[in-house]
């Protein structure tokens, strides 16, 4: 495989984000260290595809991709990987919860290709604004505590949507998780094969329930069960 150029590609998986997509990508485009922005439309049925194509037309660094069927977040992230030519990737959600300016801090923390840089909302060093529903915060912290116990880590926010990942790792790996839990499998696999995860404080402005955020106890139960299943899977390697 040809060696990737040192730099950053941002992958934006989205499904029915017509309200926030344009603003999200305009903000992202202002981050000067980003070389390319890959929009991955996971078969949206609203106006998101039209918006995505217009963004590609009007912003040089934007490329638009459409999955052949609804794959889930993980499947959408993996979908354009063969087109990535930079050394590192950041996954960015299109719902305005994360501040693209934090990407500077995340990228500047990079010291080795054996690192994933994880943006954390809960580190005690964090002086950034973090607005989150208390139920969701509890779910995130309990899930992280279980992950730490099972994978012998000391992380604070495994559910963070901001991760800086070596492109080679993603391109050479296969993942069984296609939905949201892809990101948990990603961390587990990276740690299992000798990688390290370093956290950097970031800001966060969570959506409310009225804005479409799901934060009930059923999600926590699914999260905990999935972490256990992933740990069992990796114990077989």
Q: Output the domain CATH number for residue 55.
A: 3.90.550.10
How is residue 44 annotated by DSSP?
Answer: -
The larger pLDDT score, comparing residue 219 to residue 229, is at 229
Predicted local distance difference test score (pLDDT) of residue 127: 64
Count of domains observed in the chain = 1
The contacts of residue 186 (CB under 8 Å, 6+ apart) are: 116, 163, 165, 170, 173, 175
pLDDT for res 230: 83
The pair of structure tokens assigned to 74 is 């993980």
Q: How far apart are the first and last CA of the chain?
A: 25
pLDDT tens digits for 157-182?
998 989 999 999 999 999 988 888 89
Res 214 pLDDT > 70 = no
Residue pair 55/25 in contact by the 8 Å Cβ criterion: yes
Residue-number span of the structural domain to which 152 is assigned: 5-234
Structure-token pair, residue 174: 């296969």
Query: Which of residues 114 and 128 earns the better pLDDT score?
Result: 114
Q: What is the pLDDT of residues 16-66, one digit of tens each?
A: 999 999 999 999 999 999 999 999 999 999 999 999 999 999 999 999 999
**pLDDT band for position 114 (50/70/90)?**
confident
Paired tokens of 98: 């994360």
Measured in degrees and rounded to the nearest 5, phi and psi for residue 64 equal -105, 130
- Encoding tokens for residue 30? 């202002």
| 1 pLDDT tier (thresholds 50, 70, 90) | very low
Q: H or E stretch including 120?
A: strand 115-120
The reported pLDDT for the residue numbered 130 is 80
């Amino acid at each position: 495989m040809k060696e990737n150029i040192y730099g950053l590609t941002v992958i934006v998986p989205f499904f029915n984000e017509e309200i926030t997509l344009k603003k999200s990508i305009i903000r992202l485009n202002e981050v000067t260290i980003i070389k390319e922005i890959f929009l991955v439309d996971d078969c949206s049925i609203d106006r998101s595809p039209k918006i995505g194509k217009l963004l590609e037309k009007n912003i040089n660094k934007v490329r638009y991709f459409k999955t052949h069927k609804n794959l889930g977040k993980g499947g959408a992230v993996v979908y354009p990987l063969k087109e990535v030519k930079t050394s590192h990737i950041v996954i960015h959600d299109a719902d305005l919860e994360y501040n693209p300016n934090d990407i500077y801090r995340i990228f500047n923390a990079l010291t080795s290709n054996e690192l994933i840089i994880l943006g954390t909302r809960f580190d005690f060093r964090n002086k950034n604004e973090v607005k989150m529903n208390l139920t969701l915060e509890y779910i995130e912290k309990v899930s992280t505590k279980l992950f730490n116990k099972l994978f012998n880590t000391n992380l604070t926010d495994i559910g963070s949507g901001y991760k800086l990942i070596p492109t080679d790792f993603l391109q050479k790996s296969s993942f069984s998780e296609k939905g949201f839990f892809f990101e948990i499998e990603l961390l587990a696999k990276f740690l299992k094969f000798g990688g390290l995860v370093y956290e950097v404080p970031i800001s966060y402005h969570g959506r409310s329930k009225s804005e479409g955020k799901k934060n009930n106890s059923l999600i926590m139960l699914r999260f905990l069960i999935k972490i256990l299943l992933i740990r069992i899977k990796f114990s077989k390697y």
